[in-house]
C-alpha cells in the first residue's frame, strides 16, 4: 500500500509531528511505501529514512503563531499550498492520511482517506474574539462541518472526549486510538531542594502559560518555572507574559524549543509538570512527563484529563496553585503517583500498538 501522510508543517518537531514520524516509520517497517507531504521541514535524526514532499523553496511556509484574523488568513494560505501539492501527488498513492488542520480540507474526495484528527479544529482556543472575528469563526465551524461531511473520511481521534466533540461537530463516529508515548528515563532524577515546575508546550494563549505564572505567584516561597517550546518574541502574548513576570518579580526561564534529550534532562530536575491549557492539544505532554516519573497537574479542559483521572495518575484541576502546594507538601506521595503513571504509559501507550491499530483502520 502506498500512503501519503499530509501535515502542514514538519519544521517544529513537537507532539503532532512525533505522531506523524512514528506512524510513518511503523508503516515502512511493515512493508508499505510512505511519503510525508508538508510545507516545511528541518533536519532531525528521527526524519532519517523518511521521504518528504515539499513545495518549491520560495513557496514553503514556516510556522507562525497568529491570532484571530491573522490566523484565518494563514489557514487560507496553508490550505491553498497543501491543495496544490495534493492535487499533484495524490494520484500516485492508494490512501491519504491527513493530520493537523487544515490538511483534511486539502485532500481530494476521490481518494480513500483516514484522517488523524488530533483535535477537532478550532483557531479560537484562548483567543479574545468578538464582532467580525467571532462571526468569521462561526462561519469557519459551519464550513468545516460541511467540508468534512462531504469527504466522509474514516477518522481517528486519541480519546473518548475528543470522539464526543468530533461527533457533535460532524455527526460522524471516529475510531479511538490513543497515541504511543515516547518513553523517558526516570532513573536519573536529581531534583534539588528548591521546588521547580515545568510547562513543556509552545508559548501561546491556548496553552495558557499565564495561569501557570499566576499559580506560582501564590506560593511561598515562589517556585522557579521553566517554559519549554516555540516562542515568538514579538507576539503580543509573549510580551504580556514578559511584563507579568517582571512586574511580579517571578522566576521564570524560557528555553525555546528543545531536543528530546534536553527535555529529558529538564524532567530530571523538576518536581512537577503543569498543563493548564484551554482545550487545544497537549495530549502527549502529560503522558511524556509521567513516563519520566514527574508528577503532573492537568486542566480538566484537556481531553487527556479523563484518562488520567480514571487511572488516578495525576492531579486534574484548574486550581494550579493548590495542586502545586499539595505536591510540595507531600512530594513522596505524588512521586509514587507519577511512577504508577509511568507503569501505565509503558504498558498501555506504545507506538507499536498505535501503529498496528492505525494500519488496521487503513486496511479496513
Q: What is the CATH number of the domain that holds 130?
A: 3.40.50.2000
Q: Quick one: pLDDT at residue 246? A: 97
Residue 130 has a pLDDT of 58
In a domain, 324, yes or no: yes
Residue 74 pLDDT: 78
Beta bridge partners of 226: 198, 253
Both 220 and 171 in one domain: the answer is: no
What pLDDT does 188 receive? Answer: 65
What cell was used for 274?
503543569
Name the 3-class secondary structure at 317: coil
H-assigned helices in the chain: 15-29, 68-89, 103-106, 131-151, 160-170, 209-217, 236-247, 260-267, 284-291, 305-311, 320-329, 331-348, 351-362
- 249 shares a domain with 333: yes
In a domain, 214, yes or no: yes
216 and 162 co-located in one domain = no
Cell numbers 536519573 correspond to 188
Q: Tell me, what's the pLDDT at 281? A: 63
Of the candidates 127, 73, 130, the one whose C-alpha atom is nearest the C-alpha of residue 102 is 73
The pLDDT value recorded for residue 65 is 56
pLDDT at 70: 58
Quick one: 176 and 272 in the same domain? no
Q: In whole angstroms, how far apart are CA 319 and each of 144, 221, 271, 326?
A: 34, 18, 17, 11
Check whether residue 145 and residue 282 sit in a common domain: no
Helix (H, G, I), strand (E, B) or coil at 296: strand
Number of independent structural domains in the chain: 2
Strand partners, 114: 154
Q: Verify that 155 and 238 share a domain, yes or no.
A: no
Q: Is-contact 249 313, C-beta < 8 A?
A: no
Q: What's the domain range around 156?
A: 2-180+350-362
Task: Assess if residue 186 is contained within a domain.
Answer: no
For residue 193, what pLDDT is reported? 76
Residues 307 and 324 in one domain: yes
Confidence (pTM): 0.89
Same domain, residue pair 222 and 148: no
Give per-residue pLDDT as tens, 293-350: 999 999 999 989 999 999 999 999 999 999 999 999 999 999 999 999 999 999 999 9
Count of CB atoms within 10 A of residue 128's CB?
10
Extract the residue ranges of the chain whose pLDDT is less than 50: 124-127
Please name the residues in contact with 259: beta carbons below 8 A apart, sequence gap of 6 or more: none
Instruction: State whether 215 and 172 are in the same domain.
Output: no
| Cα–Cα distance list, 163 to 176, 181, 184, 267, 283 (Å) | 7, 20, 28, 31, 14
What local confidence, expressed as pLDDT, does residue 59 receive?
83
**pLDDT at residue 124 in the model:** 47
191 found inside a domain: no
Task: Verify that 129 and 203 share a domain, yes or no.
Answer: no
Amino acid at each position: 500500500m502506498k500512503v501519503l501522510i499530509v501535515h502542514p508543517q514538519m519544521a517544529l518537531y513537537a507532539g503532532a509531528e512525533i505522531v506523524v514520524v512514528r506512524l510513518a516509520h511503523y508503516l515502512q517497517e511493515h512493508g508499505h511505501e510512505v511519503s510525508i507531504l508538508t510545507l516545511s521541514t528541518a533536519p532531525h535524526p528521527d526524519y532519517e529514512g523518511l521521504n518528504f514532499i515539499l513545495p518549491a523553496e520560495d513557496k514553503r511556509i514556516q510556522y507562525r503563531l497568529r491570532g484571530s484574523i491573522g490566523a484565518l488568513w494563514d489557514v487560507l494560505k496553508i490550505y491553498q499550498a497543501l491543495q496544490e501539492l495534493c492535487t499533484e501527488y495524490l494520484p500516485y498513492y492508494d490512501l491519504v492520511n491527513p493530520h493537523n488542520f487544515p490538511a483534511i480540507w486539502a485532500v481530494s474526495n476521490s481518494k480513500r482517506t483516514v484522517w488523524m484528527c488530533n483535535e477537532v479544529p478550532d483557531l479560537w482556543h484562548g483567543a479574545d474574539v468578538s464582532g467580525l472575528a467571532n462571526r468569521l469563526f462561526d462561519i469557519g465551524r459551519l464550513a468545516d462541518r460541511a467540508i468534512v461531511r462531504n469527504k466522509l473520511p474514516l477518522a481517528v481521534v486519541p480519546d473518548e472526549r475528543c470522539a464526543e466533540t468530533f461527533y457533535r461537530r460532524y455527526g460522524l463516529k471516529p475510531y479511538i486510538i490513543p497515541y504511543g508515548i515516547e518513553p523517558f528515563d526516570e532513573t536519573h532524577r536529581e531534583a534539588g531542594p528548591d521546588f521547580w515546575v515545568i510547562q513543556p508546550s509552545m508559548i501561546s494563549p491556548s496553552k495558557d502559560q499565564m495561569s501557570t505564572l499566576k499559580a506560582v505567584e501564590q506560593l511561598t516561597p515562589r517556585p522557579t518555572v521553566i517554559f519549554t517550546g516555540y516562542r515568538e518574541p514579538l507576539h503580543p502574548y509573549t510580551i504580556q507574559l514578559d511584563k507579568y513576570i517582571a512586574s511580579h518579580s517571578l522566576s521564570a526561564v524560557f528555553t525555546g524549543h528543545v531536543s528530546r534529550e534536553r527535555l529529558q534532562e529538564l524532567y530530571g530536575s523538576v518536581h512537577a509538570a503543569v498543563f493548564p491549557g484551554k482545550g487545544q492539544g497537549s495530549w502527549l505532554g502529560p503522558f511524556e512527563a509521567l513516563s519520566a516519573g514527574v508528577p503532573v497537574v492537568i486542566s480538566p479542559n484537556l481531553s487527556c484529563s479523563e484518562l488520567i483521572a480514571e487511572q488516578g495518575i495525576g492531579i486534574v484541576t484548574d486550581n494550579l496553585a493548590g495542586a502545586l502546594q499539595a505536591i510540595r507538601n507531600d512530594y513522596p506521595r505524588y512521586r509514587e503517583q507519577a511512577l504508577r503513571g509511568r507503569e501505565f504509559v509503558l504498558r498501555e501507550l506504545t507506538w507499536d500498538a498505535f501503529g498496528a491499530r492505525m494500519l488496521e483502520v487503513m486496511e479496513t
